[in-house]
Amino acid sequence: MLAERHPALIEQVRDAFPWSPERHRALDALLRSSTEGVVEPLGPHAHDRERWDAWGAEHFGRSWFDVPFLWAESYFYRLLLEAVGYFGPGPWQGIDPFAPFKRAELRGSLVDDELAALDVLARRPVAERAAAYLQGSLWGNRADLSFTVGSRTADGGTDDGSDGSDGSTEARSGEDPPPLVADGSEALWSLVPTGGSPGAARTVHVIADNSGRELIPDLVLIDHLLESGRADDVVLHVKPYPYYVSDATMADVVDCARRLAQASGEAGEAGRRLWAAMGDGRLAVRAHGFFCAPFPYAEMPDELRRQFDGAALTIVKGDLNYRRLVGDRLWSPTTSFAGLTAHFPGPVAALRTLKSDVIVGLEPRTVARLEDAAGDGTGRAWRTSGTHGLVQVRT
């Protein structure tokens, strides 16, 4: 995967902006290093060199293909930002190299269709709406630019997902959602009942994954939590700087909230409520550096751990966050989800579309059925195809 995705991604980032000759040379060097060379430290002037020196001491000098995947991916994206001058100083400081892909997705017609579907949903009973908002947030995880940017279409072009060619079906009116391999929805809603406990402030945390067509349904779910009284306030955690391709940053939150607020109908009303909630503090956005670190959540620093203490619920979105939550290892799929997430402070729920081999917390009969139906000779296609999802909760 590294050998295919990284060169294609570098090429597309190169074409996304009129980079200076210095930036082109840096991108060329990253391409050579990530395909033919070894992992090397950051340059002497990098603001976070000491941190990465400590994190990568045992990996430097080794082939990219011989270091842990999570570490290699995280460090590659850090080097990509260095190559394009994101951290400055200079004119390219703070320029998100993935912004054109994110903006194209937000302008796409699929977003219009999905926002219009909220008008239909508004006429449904409250419980049905809540279930749909949760499903929308879960299946929005299929709209992941890191899997479409960097892949080539059959005619040699680039599938950036902006025209819906990623094949995702979430939030389209009249279609049944794909199957869940585990569904803890009832347990999730039980942690944030409408009305809650008198006098008890209820905070819900959401650890975001992707921007664009995933972040918009996340924001709609957050609006529901606030509007229905299931939460008194919500904290949305995003990346402090661009990470992977589509991972959400503060700029993406603003872009998506504005996209909602400028829409008509129910979407516009939700967007305007979210805008007001950010203004009065009921919706806070935070960006801790650990979310870009190559480590599982079991190793989160104490100051971040304290933020989740006392929360009514923390919702962890997406495939990478799931791997970091349970540990990025090839566990037996029947390994206890509750056991592997016992390190996390407070109740936690994972909403995830399956796009990697890491999976736990399944019933043996579910695993047997999925493996029998896979038809790929290994019985594991269901783990990576994005055709299945899960809601897993540890109360």
Q: How far apart are CA 92 and CA 95, in angstroms?
A: 6
Tell me if 331 sits within 8 A of 359, measured CB to CB.
Answer: yes
Query: pTM of the full predicted structure?
Result: 0.90
Q: How far apart are CA 184 and CA 351, in angstroms?
A: 10
Q: Among 272, 292, 286, 335, which Cα is nearest to 314's?
A: 286
**pLDDT tens series, the chain, 395 aa:** 667 889 999 999 999 999 999 999 999 999 999 999 999 999 999 999 999 999 999 999 999 999 999 999 999 999 999 999 999 899 999 999 999 999 999 998 989 999 999 999 999 999 999 999 999 999 987 764 443 444 333 333 333 333 333 333 333 334 455 689 999 999 999 999 987 665 567 999 999 999 999 999 999 999 999 999 999 999 999 999 999 999 999 999 999 999 999 999 999 999 999 999 999 999 999 999 999 999 999 999 999 999 999 999 999 999 999 999 999 999 999 999 999 999 999 999 999 999 999 999 999 999 999 988 877 667 788 998 889 999 999 99
pLDDT of residue 143: 60
Q: 237 exposed, middle or buried (CB, 10 Å; 0-12, 13-18, 19+)?
A: buried
pLDDT of residue 385: 86
Q: What are the residues facing 204 on neighbouring strands? A: 234, 313
Q: Among 325, 320, 275, which Cα is nearest to 298's?
A: 325
